Amino acid sequence: MAFSFDLSAPYILLGHAVGRIGCFLNGCCYGIVDPVHGMVFPGGEDQLPHLPTQLWEMVGDFALFFMLIWARRWTLRYSWLTLALYGLTYGILRFVIEFWRRSWDKRYLFVFNSASQAVSGILILVSIATMAWIFMRPRKVHTNLPN
């Protein structure tokens, strides 16, 4: 079962990337107002230029997809490692992008700017704990291997 999760983890990122293209075309999930680097989204709440954070996340998702595909030759040796690496890298990406998606006057769950940032923080911690568990558990020794 872990093997199938490890095989599908990069493709979850590919799905995220395609979803962010949909967010961009729909004009939702954009960032804070920035008159220098922003763009006006048709159908947005206002006609102010906002940062296109959907495109940032799309590029990051594609980059993480290719990184996980490249790293698969090493990570598939350990059950759950590819999925944990996915959780760690996507959590960091989403945590950082969320700084530009919300205004600074809102606070959720203690110090986080959004609920997505809080979930990303939890995802990062769970992924680190999973990686620690993977590398600290004893390895099985195969004694019936042919000479």
Residue 120 lies in a domain: yes
b (16+ CB within 10 A) / e for 46-75 = eeebbbbbbbbbbebbbebbeebeeebeeb
* Domain assignment of residue 62, yes or no: yes
The reported pLDDT for the residue numbered 1 is 58
| Residue 127 belongs to a domain | yes
Could you tell me if residue 115 is inside a domain?
Answer: yes
Q: What is the CA radius of gyration of the chain?
A: 19
Task: Give the model confidence (pLDDT) of 92-131 as tens digits.
Answer: 999 999 889 865 555 566 666 778 888 999 999 999 999 9
Residue 101 falls inside a structural domain: yes
Look at residue 87 and tell me if it is in a domain: yes
**Is 144 a member of any domain?**
no
Q: What would the pLDDT profile of 21-73 be if each residue is shown by its tens digit?
A: 999 998 888 898 999 999 998 877 788 999 999 999 999 999 999 999 999 88
Q: Which of 54, 71, 70, 72 is nearest to 18 (CA)?
A: 54
Assigned domain for 74 exists = yes
Structural domain count of the chain = 1
Token pair recorded at residue 80: 């759950």
Give the closest residue to 102 by CA, choosing from 90, 87, 117, 122. Answer: 117
Domain span at residue 120 reads 2-136
For residue 64, what pLDDT is reported? 97
What confidence score (pLDDT) does residue 21 get? Answer: 94
